[in-house]
Chain A
Amino acid sequence: SQQGEEDPQALSIQEGENATMNCSYKTSINNLQWYRQNSGRGLVHLILIRSNEREKHSGRLRVTLDTSKKSSSLLITASRAADTASYFCATPKHSRLTFGEGTQLTVNP
């Protein structure tokens, strides 16, 4: 079974709109992390939410975690063209991170 499955797989919005991406996982976790990958670049850590937290904010990012449903969401408010990237959730197991296939977000100017 695969951890960290994101939906939608692709999302296209207009600049200024909000973007919501969802992630589901299957096993118990200590924390859940969101990463971004811009085209041709490396992975950038966005935010980490611990299992005892329900919501966390960082700038224009808002992450929620529902451990009862084993799901998380990432909300990007007031999106910008520069937010165009692939977004991944990742869950740690032992010391490794398990990623999903990601959501490709396109923000049109």
Chain B
Amino acid sequence: EAGVTQFPSHSVIEKGQTVTLRCDPISGHDNLYWYRRVMGKEIKFLLHFVKESKQDESGMPNNRFLAERTGGTYSTLKVQPAELEDSGVYFCASSRLNMGGDEQYFGPGTRLTVT
């Protein structure tokens, strides 16, 4: 069974540009999550999809971030326009169940550098 995959693995962009990150969850996992780790700090929750619906987007930092999951399969996270403080590692995770603690399987992350 393939794990969670993320693309790209690294992205370097200039302040003001747009970047789109992609996550492919494990097949059959209805729950998809985005997290990020900024400047070596703690990993913070961004949002949670159940199929194509946003279940919880309370962790999204501001309206420069837009997440979609059309069709309930893969998800994209777009940052537009990117700012310096957006640099960090963006992780995607998926889980089969949504029961407040089912194991979440994480992807390798996308390292975003905004210069």
Contacts and interface: CB of A to CB of B under 8 A. Distances in A.
Q: Do A and B bind each other?
A: yes
Interface of A: 2, 4, 30-31, 33, 35, 40-45, 48, 88, 90, 92-102
B8 interface: no
Contact of A94 (B44, B93, B100): B100
Contact of B107 (A31, A42, A101): A42
Interface of B: 4, 6, 31, 33, 35, 41-45, 48, 55-56, 59, 91, 93, 98, 100-101, 103-109, 111
Contacts of B98: 95
Given A42-B108, A95-B55, A99-B43, A30 B100 contact: yes
A42 B42 CA distance: 14
Given A42-B106, A43-B106, A96 B56 contact: yes
A100 B37 CA distance: 11
Contacts of B6: 42
A2 B41 CA distance: 12
Contacts of B55: 95
Contacts of A88: 42-43
Nearest to A99: B43
B45 A97 contact: yes
A26 to B, nearest CB: 14
Contact of B41 (A45, A95, A101): A101
Contacts of B109: 41-43
